[in-house]
Amino acid sequence: MDALGKLIERVMDERGWSLSTLARRSDLSISTLHSWKSGDRATGTRGPSPSKLRQLAEGAGLSVSEVFEAAGRYIPAELAPEEERRFLHLLRSISPEDRRVLEATMTAMQERKPQAQTGN
């Protein structure tokens, strides 16, 4: 079992939760959690999506960094409120077409991170 599966097992054991309880609290499907727990994380070619990992963190009462680390994903950095405000201001000031380009670029950068960490 990989680290994400072990983390899910630990949460269930410590809290006395079933897989269905964790699924309900995380707003994830039982089949998704079961596949992660059993080590079959292939919910796409890149593994669990960041949004689903965040759902697991919130539902299980874990830190985002702990869940991302267990999943072998790049751990997202926290933004200071002022930094977030500046980025949102810049985002709102560009055209919708430029926002799509920026989003595609940022998505590519995010998807590249796990490969750079594992050397693939």
Q: What is the pLDDT of residue 1?
A: 47
pLDDT digits (tens, 9 = 90+) for 27-52: 999 999 999 998 876 555 567 888 89
pLDDT digits (tens, 9 = 90+) for 52-95: 999 999 999 999 989 999 998 877 777 788 998 999 999 999 99
**48 neighbors 35 (Cβ within 8 angstroms):** no
How high is the pLDDT of residue 118? 42
* Nearest alpha-carbon partner for 23 in 75, 58, 51: 58
Q: How far apart are CA 13 and CA 19, in angstroms?
A: 10
**pTM for this entry:** 0.65
Q: Per-residue pLDDT for 115 more than 60?
A: no
| Distance separating alpha carbons of residues 111 and 88, to the nearest angstrom | 22
Distance CA 23, CA 29 (A): 6
